[in-house]
Structure 1
Amino acid sequence: MRLAIIGNESKPIPATEGGAVETIIDTFIQYNEKYINNKIDIYSKYNALSLKKAKRYRFTRGIYVNLKYQNSFLIKVNRKLNIINYKKIYINNVIGQMKGHSYDWIIVENRPDFVLPLREAFSDSKIALHMHNEHLTFRTVNAKKIIKALNKIIAVSDFIANKIKSIDINYAWKVTTLTNRVDINKFAPRYKDNGLCQKFNIDNQITTIVIHGRIVKEKGILEAIKAFKVARQFVSGLKLIIIGDIKNANRKYYRLLKEEINKTNNKESIVFTGYVSHNSVPDYLNLSDIILLPSIWNEPCSLSILESLAIGKSLITTRTGGTPEIVPNNCGILVKIDNSLVQQLAKDVVYLAKNKAKRNFYENNARKFAINNLDDRTFYNDFLKILE
């Protein structure tokens, strides 16, 4: 089988700049290289390191679009002013490079607005849309036309799938759910790294809470910090470690977080790690006694949550989007998002910090659930079965 996988205009593949979608595609490619050996062309935003990594593959070819003058500052400005249509420039460039190639399937990653230009250019090709977010709803321009133009739609959760099905029930049969997976050998329980323990002043008297993900409002980090400050009034020896890329964080939001931290009596109890490579994330997660992921948006199928389950840690997260589909009641605590969110998060942190037996219960069940349901070695074959 010959596949074309079209990434987005924001982050490159392989995932040298991070990104949940890009990380999942990396998993897809690596499994194919090792076991299946289908021919895959990856169309991606240019990045020199990604290009270098792609050249190491035997069965996968990286084809890159260099969007000149695109940088993080211009992208942020453009989001407000909408001067440059990077998406249109990108997909037109991709289509130009695709011409002359023949594929069994063209797979579009999370960009429904790429579908109609692709269908116009490749009228006889099979096109699948792999949806990771709420980018295709009844509010999407040309939503029905996009669905009609597709052969398959693969959604990462029933939450996303049902949104798409509701657009046009006549084409609901095209939509299938395939939950994201993780490397359960890489993300596995291990002893705490002594070097990291020394770096963050963690000892046996410390109960460590870890947050990991993008430093953005939607991830509920401000609410987590506020809840942590409340919990410290009832439990001594708490430490909060926030894993995330500060350089690419929303600056206004990051300042807000720092202001909140500065209001506490013990600022040293809250630490930002800065960017941590995906390969190193398991070592940081294994520092935790509790993982706190209080997203305040509709998480479709959070990779951070899946990694937390695989690592076998007590998890506190929010009942939102597709999260209830991947966090059974015996694997963690799901908190309702309402005006009492901070107080409830604090209450649950205190409860788990004082109750090691309950933490062990969640840890054991989370790891078992991950082994049985989240092994990324099953993802590639399940994906290909949908395309059959």
Structure 2
Amino acid sequence: MKIGILTADSNGCFPVPASKGGAVSTLIESLIRENSEKGLAELTIFSYYDEKAYKKSRKYSNVNFIWVKVPKYIKKLDSLFYKIIKKKSAVKAISYKSIFSLIYYIKYVSKYLKKNRFDKLILENNITIAWIIQLSHYNGQYYYHLHNVPRINPKCKKVFDKCAGYLCVSKYVAHQIESEDNPIGPVDLERIRVVYNAIDTDLFKPYSINHKKMIRQQIKNKYSISSSDKIILFTGRISKEKGLDVLLDALKKVKVDNYKLLIVGSIMHGANEKNNFVDLVKHKAHEISPHVLFTGYIAHDKLADYYNAADVAVLPSTWEEPAGLTMVEALSCGIRVITTNSGGIPEYVQNYAIVLNKAENLKDKLSHAISASLINDNLVDRYETYSYIKNNFSTHKYLERVVKQLE
């Protein structure tokens, strides 16, 4: 089966392989890795060009890369436009960080598809790349792989009407696009398939007792954390919807004093932008200083060390999170996870995490749950939790699951 995958964004030009990070890019790379091992399909990836990604791509077999090299003048336009938008709204500006590069990508790939066809074409997440189908007059089978709930309609009604199917990362996303209230809805139920996201369970796994102790001590030494302190871990973007401000408020009422909160992340993947919310978070962190430490961006392949070093991961998403892979990564490493009943999160964590109702008194509920977790030293069954994640969300059979839904 010849499968083409279109992946483009407007918030930083994340390439595949995922040399710059990015959740969607990382997932696509896992498809590539699996196909290199199993040869399940003839894969073609349409990716922004990045030198590191290009070098990394050469280790993969059974895959063809179509590199979209964005001209320097386009990148300069992006930079100028981004500066203008950022002055008005730093949060909104992120979505426009590489908008002209996205337009260039759409035009470039549209020309390619006028002359080339695939058995199946997958449009990854970005709803605006529907214009590739529109401009190329593509008449082959294509599918949308939705990692988020669509919030805009790019005025390509025929494209969505003719879409062969929608691969949704959770039942929550599927229900949203069934609704007439959704910008691309209502989508017929028979065209919707749920394909749960995946993580690398060879990377995210419980360490042996001795290895865990060693890594824990290394991280404590790195951040000058006392040997008696418990580690609370928050991973993810420092953005309003991830609930970090609520967590910081909740920690004021925690009944344990010997803890450190490690905040692993930045405003965007690998970026160090600032906005009003970051300032608010720093102010709240200062109020409970010295209990809070900011690590900044940590490379994806290093995150398992931080999960294994922690006593509990608190990921209190306050928006309707489509999936929530950080929760799955933490569970896979065998630690306690405290999260919320947001979007598709309960579908992934089931009863293996402490799931709080975010609608009422979330700060108090978080405070109580964190206190209980830090006081109670009984270990979770690390290998039972890992087995659940490996059996349901491992990248080892991710491509198989995707291909099955395309047949």
TM-score (norm 2): 0.86
* CA distance in 2: counterparts of 1:73 and 1:379, whole angstroms: 39
* CA distance in 2: counterparts of 1:170 and 1:181, whole angstroms: 25
* CA distance in 1: counterparts of 2:124 and 2:187, whole angstroms: 23
SS at match of 2:76: coil
- Of 120, 123, 135, the residue aligned with 2:150 is 135
- 1:69 maps to 2:76: yes
* CA distance in 2: counterparts of 1:321 and 1:145, whole angstroms: 28
- 1:198 maps to 2:211: no
Report if the CA contact (8 A) 1:112-1:146 is conserved.
no
Report if the CA contact (8 A) 1:301-1:322 is conserved.
yes
Shift of 1:327: 1.4
Shift of 1:3: 1.8
Going from structure 1 to structure 2, the CA distance change for 1:128 and 1:76 (only over 3 Å counts) comes to farther
The AA in structure 2 aligned to 1:152 is: G
Report if the CA contact (8 A) 2:234-2:264 is conserved.
yes
Structure 1 stretches of 5 or more lacking a match? none
* CA distance in 2: counterparts of 1:144 and 1:351, whole angstroms: 51
Going from structure 1 to structure 2, the CA distance change for 1:235 and 1:134 (only over 3 Å counts) comes to same
* CA distance in 2: counterparts of 1:280 and 1:172, whole angstroms: 40
Going from structure 1 to structure 2, the CA distance change for 1:75 and 1:93 (only over 3 Å counts) comes to farther
Q: How does 1:158-307 map to 2 (within 5 A)?
A: 158-167=171-180, 171-190=188-207, 191-192=212-213, 193=215, 194-202=217-225, 205-231=228-254, 234-245=255-266, 247-264=271-288, 267-307=289-329
SS at match of 2:44: strand
SS at match of 2:27: helix
**Alignment-derived partner of residue 47 in structure 1:** 50
Report if the CA contact (8 A) 1:95-1:121 is conserved.
yes
- 1:360 maps to 2:380: yes
* CA distance in 1: counterparts of 2:148 and 2:313, whole angstroms: 23
**Alignment-derived partner of residue 160 in structure 2:** 147
Report if the CA contact (8 A) 1:107-1:130 is conserved.
yes
Report if the CA contact (8 A) 1:216-1:249 is conserved.
no
Shift of 1:230: 2.1
Going from structure 1 to structure 2, the CA distance change for 1:332 and 1:365 (only over 3 Å counts) comes to farther
* CA distance in 1: counterparts of 2:52 and 2:77, whole angstroms: 17
Going from structure 1 to structure 2, the CA distance change for 1:135 and 1:75 (only over 3 Å counts) comes to farther
Judge which range, 8-17 or 293-302, deviates more. 8-17
* CA distance in 2: counterparts of 1:178 and 1:45, whole angstroms: 25
SS at match of 1:286: helix
* CA distance in 1: counterparts of 2:96 and 2:302, whole angstroms: 36
Q: Considering only aligned residues, what root-mean-square deviation do their CA atoms show, in Å? A: 2.5
Report if the CA contact (8 A) 2:133-2:159 is conserved.
no
- Of 109, 115, 121, the residue aligned with 2:130 is 115
The AA in structure 2 aligned to 1:111 is: N
**Alignment-derived partner of residue 26 in structure 1:** 29
**Alignment-derived partner of residue 88 in structure 2:** none
Shift of 1:208: 0.8
Report if the CA contact (8 A) 2:204-2:333 is conserved.
yes
Going from structure 1 to structure 2, the CA distance change for 1:328 and 1:258 (only over 3 Å counts) comes to same
Shift of 1:119: 4.6
**Alignment-derived partner of residue 326 in structure 1:** 348
* CA distance in 2: counterparts of 1:299 and 1:377, whole angstroms: 24
Report if the CA contact (8 A) 2:114-2:138 is conserved.
no
Report if the CA contact (8 A) 1:65-1:93 is conserved.
no
Structure 2 stretches of 5 or more lacking a match? 86-91
The AA in structure 2 aligned to 1:29 is: I
- 1:12 maps to 2:15: yes
Shift of 1:236: 2.3
* CA distance in 2: counterparts of 1:384 and 1:349, whole angstroms: 41
SS at match of 2:43: strand
- Which whole-Å deviations, capped at 9, do the CAs of 1:299-356 have from their partners, x for residues lacking one? 1011111111111110000111001111112x11111123521121111100111112
Going from structure 1 to structure 2, the CA distance change for 1:188 and 1:73 (only over 3 Å counts) comes to farther
Judge which range, 293-302 or 88-97, deviates more. 88-97
Shift of 1:147: 2.9
* CA distance in 2: counterparts of 1:292 and 1:320, whole angstroms: 14
* CA distance in 2: counterparts of 1:82 and 1:378, whole angstroms: 34
* CA distance in 2: counterparts of 1:252 and 1:53, whole angstroms: 36
The AA in structure 2 aligned to 1:68 is: K
Shift of 1:114: 1.9
TM-score (norm 1): 0.89
**Alignment-derived partner of residue 385 in structure 1:** 404
- Which whole-Å deviations, capped at 9, do the CAs of 1:127-163 have from their partners, x for residues lacking one? 1110000116xx6354754431211110000000111
Shift of 1:103: 1.5
SS at match of 2:75: coil
Going from structure 1 to structure 2, the CA distance change for 1:368 and 1:17 (only over 3 Å counts) comes to same
* CA distance in 1: counterparts of 2:302 and 2:32, whole angstroms: 20
- Which whole-Å deviations, capped at 9, do the CAs of 1:20-73 have from their partners, x for residues lacking one? 111111111111111126332211223221122223333223322414326567
Going from structure 1 to structure 2, the CA distance change for 1:82 and 1:211 (only over 3 Å counts) comes to closer
SS at match of 1:280: helix
* CA distance in 1: counterparts of 2:5 and 2:330, whole angstroms: 28
**Alignment-derived partner of residue 89 in structure 2:** none
Shift of 1:112: 2.4
